[in-house]
Amino acid sequence: MNDLLTETERLLPECMGLLEHWVRLESPSFDADRVNRLGDAVAEAFARLGGSVERLPEADRGRHLLIRFGKQGAEAPVMLLGHLDTVWPAGEIDRRPFTVDGDIASGPGVFDMKAGIAMMWLALRSLLSVRGSIPLPVAILLTSNEEVGSPNVRELVPRLAAGARAVLVLEPPLPDGVLKTARNGMGRFVIRAHGRSAHSGVNPADGVNAVEETAHQILRLRELGDPANGTTVTATMVEGGTRPNVVPAECFVQADCRVPSSAEAERVTRAIRSLAPVLPGSRIEVEGGFRRPPLEPTPGNVRLFEMARKVGKEIGREIAGGRTGGASDGNLTSGAGIATLDGLGPVGLGAHQEDEHIRVSSLPWRTTLVAGLIEKLA
């Protein structure tokens, strides 16, 4: 393992060159042209290593990249999973240019997750130069809009990962490089109340107030949460009413749900779907569901984590795992029953924040962890 570590250290300047180039190519989720320009640059770097690149179109968004190494079909591949897009608008790079100051590299999207993509490149490049080949088929999937989570991606990621022996997600880790071994599931629901309009001065009693009905439902939603055990149900948006002097006939509330387990996802879904109207004469409709299942410590996920701890030991690093509230595309692969390990990106802080940065010195050992996992999985 230490020969791989030495090689990643030797190749670090080349890797940082790619990272700088990719951070400068800004890639906001909703800007298809920019995402595609980054995708082309990334594809070129992997093609130079011998990868075969497939571009997968996506309506109104940039293309996803699927890059394959090794013979396909004979053996189940390892999937390296990540995303091309960032939460930052175009032009952010002029305000906060890519900089390296001592051990700290900063710039929009550097931590979430362009350094993760650079690490994928460094892992394969090092395996190729130290071992002469990559020990098993590798499929890299880089989605174009993870930060937005389009419905198509929720179908595409599990479909492309199907049959993989494991999925390694190079998203940012928790502080100090702690891997993400549990991620909450995320659901969105819309509860629509239908009432009856009336003049609020002349005949208010003839109306059925949809805003009032929604108020009742908001309080019920809150009661569905179990914050002590990690489940929250939060009313995040409300819209209703038409005029200041009209009893409102329509109103809706949107609820954001976070759950630690699929059992909780089922409980919350059942409860929201069976919400009943409170006011006589009103009616409610419920839409939505869980968009990302929770990433749970399934036997396959735990085995993969134990493997990472072993690789860590071989290079003198203690590997720890923890829970995060945020969801990633890794939730989708784990939910589909494929062994998944998330948070394998570099040590850093500040995803989605202005102080976003990575520790450059963590790139070699974090990359060796990924390359070592690929070897151990073979």
Q: Which residues form the interface with Zn ion (CB under 5 A)?
A: 112-113, 171
Considering the complex, state which of residue 241 and residue 326 has its C-beta at the smaller distance from Zn ion.
Answer: 326
Q: Residues 33-49, buried b or exposed e (16+ Cβ, 10 A)?
A: ebbbbbbebbbebbeee
Considering the complex, state which of residue 171 and residue 212 has its C-beta at the smaller distance from Zn ion.
Answer: 171
Residue 284 and residue 191 in contact, taking contact as beta carbons nearer than 8 Å: yes
How many Å is the Cα radius of gyration of the chain?
Answer: 24
Q: State both tokens at 35.
A: 């995402």
CB-nearest residue to Zn ion? 112
Quote the Cα angle for 151-152-156, to 5°.
125
Smallest distance from Zn ion to CB 74, Å:
32
Considering the complex, state which of residue 19 and residue 191 has its C-beta at the smaller distance from Zn ion.
Answer: 19
Considering the complex, state which of residue 113 and residue 339 has its C-beta at the smaller distance from Zn ion.
Answer: 113
Smallest distance from Zn ion to CB 172, Å:
6
Considering the complex, state which of residue 169 and residue 304 has its C-beta at the smaller distance from Zn ion.
Answer: 169
Considering the complex, state which of residue 146 and residue 213 has its C-beta at the smaller distance from Zn ion.
Answer: 146
Residues 6+ apart with CB under 8 A from 40: none
Considering the complex, state which of residue 112 and residue 356 has its C-beta at the smaller distance from Zn ion.
Answer: 112
By C-alpha distance, which of 139, 126, 256 is closest to 188? 256
Edge-to-edge strand order for the sheet containing 340-341?
A: 52-56, 64-69, 138-143, 78-83, 166-169, 340-341
Rounded CA separation 280/136 (Å): 64
Smallest distance from Zn ion to CB 223, Å:
32
Smallest distance from Zn ion to CB 345, Å:
8
Question: What is the residue type of 175?
Answer: P
Smallest distance from Zn ion to CB 57, Å:
22
Considering the complex, state which of residue 7 and residue 147 has its C-beta at the smaller distance from Zn ion.
Answer: 147
Considering the complex, state which of residue 93 and residue 190 has its C-beta at the smaller distance from Zn ion.
Answer: 93
